[in-house]
Amino acid sequence: MSTVTVTLPDGSTLEMDAGSTVEDVAYEIGPGLGADTVAGVVDGELVDKHAPIETDVTLEIVTPSSDEYLDVLRHSAAHVFAQALQREFPEATLTIGPWTDDGFYYDVTDVDLDEDDLETIEVEAQQIIEEDYDIERVLLDREEAFERYEDNPFKQDILETEAAGEDPVSFYEQAEFYDLCQGPHVESTGEIGGFALLEISAAFWRGEEENDTLTRVYGTAFPTQDELDEFLENRRKAQERDHRKIGQEMDLFSIDDTTGPGLPLYEPNGKKVLNELSEYAAELNREAGYDEVETPHVFRTELWKKSGHYENYVDDMFLLDVNDEEYGLKPMNCPGHATIFEQKNWSYRDLPVRYFEDGKVYRKEQRGELSGLSRTWAFTIDDGHLFVRPDQIEAEVLATVDIILDTLETFNLDYTVQFATRPEKSVGSDEIWEKAESQLESVLDEQDIDYVVEDGDGAFYGPKIDFAFEDALGRHWDGPTVQLDFNMPERFDLSYTGEDNEEHRPVMIHRALYGSYERFFMVLTEHYNGKFPPWLAPEQVRVLPVSDDNIPYCEELRDELGEFRVEIEDRSWTVGRKIQQAHDDRVPYMLIIGDNEEDAGTISVRDRKEREEKDIELGEFRDHLETEVEQQRTAVTFLAGR
């Protein structure tokens, strides 16, 4: 019998008979590990513990203490939901039900569900969990599998695509319920300690709008009820901070179906925030030696074919036919920047060349994936592209990481860092990749940055450093990135004349400080709960006259604060109502002006934390606000610093 080599996470290896299962390997390591085995990660793919190993592989054993265990548990929870659904609504047709980062979903059809039905289904699901049914893997021949689903075209589609050629076919069964599935799953339904159904939405089969419309039910599950309770509390807090809710309350942005999905409209307040973000990024770029460029929103698709994006992005591009020529709204800015660099002859002395642009790009995401500002059809990237000599990579990456760290500090955002290395499919020589990876890792080590190595997760054109924002609720969002690119210079035949008078190929560095303005705006809105720091707030000061007689003096104060964003609340409301409205609008500072203040030529200052100080000279307040805004920091506010 032939053998296979199994490489374990610590680098050690085992020789096993071909066809041995993940569980067999675990028992070979030790009986305790074998008994605890839930699943395995084979060559990066989560698989059932009964999966046979036929070739040399890398293997990680999944136990209840593994990070992957939660994915397995939630996959089983999706089956519990489906079983409960069919008990309560036998007419329901099942399609697919995968786990997600936050739980699971299951797409169904032939049943009319609303939010009220979730409680009924959840009660039945809890009963299934309490019954602690064994979850068993069953193999059926293809003919029997098709017979089981003779009335379910969606499962037949799966049999003809994902399960094409499989014979026998894998099913999982629990009591009367069965589902076509590759797994993995936990041993029994009773392992699910906390289970909840969350919401309903619409979806399309396979995510394609021309396909059948389905009902998607979202849920979540945890090993314990306490973990579920913590999740639900954090979810409640997240809903309170939802940027769509705050955006409406503060008149920041809107998305109107009449203008098209995923196309945000920024109202005056929202545009003020965007302007501040843009000016801040531009200041950092200019200080770092970047030149600002601008590229059009649409190009001939020849450019995207030249860059290689057409073959990868054509399905997500908005294409236009103009005089029998094909054009496309740009899905990214880098080919335009490469074309600008291409226009000139460069010497080694000219490099690095650094361009930046707030470039609007367009990607035709599926409608079901669109969500507020987190995923849109039109978004703006604070793009930067550098063209450097190979010997300049480390210094330029180090400078870029410094800027990113300054940005994160400015917005008081925690972060995590991933270092992604060469994938299996890539361009460029081994020597270039090894040097590039070494240089990126050296920068991270020099900055004493904690990071996780994501082996093989780099772009095909080069390794990268990715930063993920961590907001006030501990959620992570894709953010800044630094990427090395050996592919684009090759495709565009970019060159510079070296010291040896020979032509050399530059390396291109892609970087973004925010990622995209839309997602960053969303992150900040939820991170601050709409209480933007004064320098960023759409309205920095609101003047509240006690009576209409005080309005002329209030107008004088507004004029004196002309360099700031100041409004006067001149509606005929009580002072208490005006203060409450300013709090609801999340205005950083209120100036309360009555006869006493007007007679003394002073102001009373109140902030969002309800701290108040009377008899303040306007000049003192203006000087502090000016310093606060110039420093672009949130650490010290006017009243806290007194």
Q: Do you find a cis peptide bond into 168, omega within 30 degrees of 0?
A: yes
State whether 498 and 605 are in the same domain.
no
AA identity, residue 457: D
List pLDDT tens digits, range 496-544.
999 999 999 999 999 999 999 999 999 999 999 999 999 999 999 999 9
Instruction: For residues 383 and 375, give the distance between their C-alpha atoms in angstroms, rounded to a whole number.
Output: 18
What's the pLDDT band for 634 if we cut at 50, 70, 90?
Answer: very low
**How many other C-beta atoms are found inside a 10 Å radius of the C-beta of residue 141?**
11
Please state the three-class secondary structure of 91-121 as a single string: CCEECCCCECCCCEEEEEECCCCCHHHHHHH
Do 159 and 280 share a domain, yes or no? no
CA pair distance 590, 204, nearest whole angstrom: 49
56 and 95 inside one domain: no
Interatomic CA distance for residues 22 and 42, integer angstroms: 8
Phi, psi of 568 (to 5 degrees): -110, 130
Burial class (CB in 10 A: 0-12, 13-18, 19+), 445: exposed
Do 515 and 492 belong to one domain?
yes
Rounded CA gap, 378 and 333, in Å? 13
Considering its fold, how many domains does the chain have in total? Answer: 4
In a domain, 352, yes or no: no
- Residue 297 annotated as binding? no
Same domain, 230 and 121: yes
By the 8 A CB rule, do 378 and 331 touch?
no
Is the residue at 249 inside a domain?
no
Q: Where in the sequence is the domain holding 622, given as residue range(s)?
A: 541-631
On whether the pTM is more than 0.85, the answer is no
Do 516 and 592 fall into the same domain? no
- Note whether 590 and 441 are same-domain residues: no
Same domain, 90 and 22: no
Any binding-site annotation on 554? no
**Chain center to CA of 322:** 35
Q: 3-class DSSP state for residue 56?
A: coil
Asked whether residue 385 is marked as a ligand-binding residue, the answer is: yes
- pLDDT value at residue 639: 53
SS (H, E, C) 133-154: CECEEEEECHHHHHHHCCCCHH
Predicted local distance difference test score (pLDDT) of residue 636: 43
Would residue 603 count as lying in a domain? yes
Flag whether pLDDT at 47 surpasses 60.
yes
pLDDT tens, residue by residue, 286-343: 999 999 999 999 999 999 889 888 887 788 889 999 989 999 999 999 999 999 999 9
Instruction: Quote the CA–CA distance of 79 and 9 in Å, as a whole number.
Output: 31
